[in-house]
Structure 1
Amino acid sequence: MFSWFGIAISMCCQKCRIQRCNAEYVASFSPSGGLQEEVLPDVDYCIALRAYSLCTRRTAHGCRGDLVYHSAVFRIKELFAQHNCSSDGPTSSAKAPSTSKPPVVDVCNYESRVLALGPAAQQKKYGHCGLFGDPHLRTFRDEFQTCRVEGAWPLIHNRYLSVQVTNVPVVEGSSATATNKITVIFKSYHDCTEQKVYQATTEDLPSAFQDGTRSGGKGESLWIVEGSGGLGTSIIVRQVGRYLTFAIRMPEDLAEENGGLQLCLHGCPRSEVIKAHVLNRQVASSSNSPFFSFFLYFIIPAIKCLVGT
């Protein structure tokens, strides 16, 4: 399964502009400067969707191997079918923008909030965290560690979600451990999301929350899909052989809100570290390498949980 990580970087010199496409798509739903209550009719929605699709096609060459890009393409196809939109037709509206009302920010959409803050805020960086193998940890601060961390440990704990992993020895008497249980608690946030618990073990990788539902909250604020398509906050849980892997990508300002023991934020305690080094941040943020693009993007507090083997 992870042989894909060995693909060489071939397009590192051409920038993937999928984030710009995503931002333009979100902005297209705010023809009056971000009015939350102003809903686009079906015809205008199809126009916005075609423009989104066109933008992804134009940046396709620079997004090879980028799961953020492939996730968007997959979701666009779903939305075309869901709203009965044709791929042929105009990609822009002739309507003049209205300026009669002040903008209203959608608190359930992180990207909408960032757009409302202006160009400077739109340059905010995303942090990546992943735990895999025996176990290898990449922190939000681009530290790469191999740790013991046997037993239950917190990966993330903030006002949006908490993630705890349980690691067991790979071989009796060895310091190497691997993950056999992952518990994710999605916390209630305003009217956007309901509190939900997702738990995966090596015996059971469910496609639903513990209460049997696959979504919770306003609109598409929180939902589970099998595969790697769609937009929103993405957490990836996969089973590899007898063990589990975890990956997440989130805005740095949200990832660093809380202190305390969080492996994704501060790394492993020194007594648990076997080996560590710091990644080159510039390379990590700009690379289209599958290793880095494995950690999908998302919009807090809209959360998407991806599960699969």
Structure 2
Amino acid sequence: MEPRPRIRHYTTSPWKHCIHLTLLMVQLSLPQVGASCRILRCNSDFVAATLDLGSSSMEGGGGAGPGGAALSREAVNAGYCSALRSYAMCTKRMARACRGDLAYHSAVQGIEDLLIQHRCPRAGPTAQPRPLPQGTLSGDFCLYERSFNNTEGRAPEYLHCSVFGDPHIRTFSHDFQTCAIQGAWPLVDNEYLYIQATSSPTREGTHSTALTKITIIFKNMRQCIDQQLYQAELDNVPAAFADGSVSSGERQGHHSLTVWTQSPGQHAEIRAAHIGTVLVVRQSGHSLGLSIRSPRAIVNAFGPEQDLQLCVWGCPLSQRLNMLHPPPPDPSLSSIGAHSHCAALLPARDVYYQACVFDLTSSGDLNSSMAAVSALQDARNMIPDRERIHLLPVASSVQHLARLDLTMQLTLLSMLGILARV
């Protein structure tokens, strides 16, 4: 299994983190769950039922209620027991349809173990369904753009993020960074959407990496969709969800989720009408790329525990590289050759041109230049303000931090000198 950083998903509670991670791993490893077996719906309902319990420490801490009020340890445990009983009832309703399904039987066994572990009575109250978000009960509640326009009298403000190449990230706030990350990292993690990208070394003995896997989870939104999974890997960009469907969430004559392709095996575009979001997954050369356009309200729908999102905050400071100073060129390609090749494809000397030179220099693969070309084309399609498409390269954050550290040192020395004279 590929190394993964610690991803705090949904909550910081150790108990909940373990459960949610287990459910996620089951779903990712078993994409063949049939449409008639709705165990993913049971999983999603359990996660939703425990979201408002906040962080809990079974050694003595409490949690936070829906309004932020503190809950006692007993109240938190009672809430989990109610959620577990609801989870068990849901699995019982799925018993016939899910007979022989490994994900189903894993869930049933996990519920049984947890009921015993937390001394939950078999009989008792069950978790109440989470209230539907306000403003989503009109006839257009699964058409985000139309509903927003009816409510606000204007179109939503859209934000754009992309990740491609070695990898380079353009965040929702128009920061552009080159990262030295390997393994699986979350790009987006909010109340509606979870996106994870996996980066792997391209060649032994080099620091060059490429995106090799992209996982997208559309979280359960009961009135519009059941939880849905999409996965793409290098040399396999399917134009379908993991269950084989090309659409999902049929409501009032339309589908909330649809997938289509203009290049089978190399490109997929997913439209999520219920959250007004468009995602484009494509393979360019020997790496994957992802571009996202999503409304600001959707992008910002996350809590403090969802604190690792590359599309929101960029890559960690310790993992940022200076794109203006790429690694030593591959022996098969000179630095001058890389600049000439990228200049022919990307005349504007913007961040996409610099990313092209970086990837081409570090990999020596001419096909790697297409990642920047495709990312720029997606940016043109997704960013309405033409002036914001071409970003100018800036000095790396590492250099900025070095200058900041020097300034702080000088300030500290000055203060010590003043104190010494007092």
TM-score by length of 2: 0.40
Contact 2:215-2:232 within 8 A present in 1 as well: yes
Please give the alpha-carbon distance, in whole angstroms, between the structure 2 residues aligned to 1:257 and 1:159.
Answer: 6
State the AA in 1 paired with 2:184: A
**What's the offset of the Cα at 1:114?**
1.5
**What's the offset of the Cα at 1:249?**
0.4
* Per-residue deviation, residues 113-167 of structure 1 (Å, max 9, x unmatched): 2212234xx2642110000111110000110000011110000111211110100
Report the equivalent of 2:5.
none
1:198-209 maps to which residues of 2 (within 5 A)?
198-209=230-241
Higher strand share: 1
Structure 1 stretches (4+) deviating beyond 4 angstroms? 228-232
1:119-130 maps to which residues of 2 (within 5 A)?
119=153, 122=154, 124-130=156-162
Q: Which runs of 5+ in 1 are unaligned?
A: 1-102, 281-288, 298-309
Please give the alpha-carbon distance, in whole angstroms, between the structure 2 residues aligned to 1:128 and 1:251.
Answer: 9
1:44-193 maps to which residues of 2 (within 5 A)?
104=138, 106-119=140-153, 122=154, 124-193=156-225
Report the equivalent of 1:36.
none
SS in 1 for 2:255: coil
Aligned pair 1:261/2:308, yes or no? yes
Aligned residues between the structures: 184
Q: Which runs of 5+ in 2 are unaligned?
A: 1-136, 263-267, 325-349, 352-375, 385-422
Aligned pair 1:274/2:321, yes or no? yes
Report the equivalent of 1:4.
none
State the AA in 2 paired with 1:200: A
Report the equivalent of 2:256.
221
Q: 1:175 to 1:295 in 2, by over 3 A?
A: farther
Aligned pair 1:293/2:380, yes or no? yes
**What's the offset of the Cα at 1:243?**
1.2
Higher relative contact order (CA 8 A, sep 6+): 1
SS in 1 for 2:322: strand
**What's the offset of the Cα at 1:230?**
9.8
SS in 1 for 2:293: strand
Whose Rg is larger?
2
State the AA in 2 paired with 1:132: F
Contact 2:165-2:210 within 8 A present in 1 as well: yes
Contact 2:269-2:278 within 8 A present in 1 as well: no
Q: 1:215 to 1:229 in 2, by over 3 A?
A: closer
- Give the percent of matched residue pairs that are identical in Structure 1 and Structure 2: 39
Return the match for 1:238 from 270, 276, 282: 282
**What's the offset of the Cα at 1:253?**
1.9
Please give the alpha-carbon distance, in whole angstroms, between the structure 2 residues aligned to 1:123 and 1:203.
Answer: 37
* Per-residue deviation, residues 89-118 of structure 1 (Å, max 9, x unmatched): xxxxxxxxxxxxxx9452111112221223
Please give the alpha-carbon distance, in whole angstroms, between the structure 2 residues aligned to 1:229 and 1:291.
Answer: 11
Contact 2:259-2:270 within 8 A present in 1 as well: no
Contact 1:136-1:147 within 8 A present in 2 as well: yes
Contact 1:108-1:192 within 8 A present in 2 as well: yes
State the AA in 1 paired with 2:298: L
Contact 2:193-2:217 within 8 A present in 1 as well: yes
SS in 1 for 2:152: coil
SS in 1 for 2:149: helix
**Range with greater deviation from structure 2 (222-231 or 191-200):** 222-231
Q: 1:276 to 1:243 in 2, by over 3 A?
A: closer
Report the equivalent of 1:284.
none
State the AA in 2 paired with 1:292: A
TM-score by length of 1: 0.54
**What's the offset of the Cα at 1:178?**
1.0
* Per-residue deviation, residues 212-239 of structure 1 (Å, max 9, x unmatched): 1111112220011113889743210101
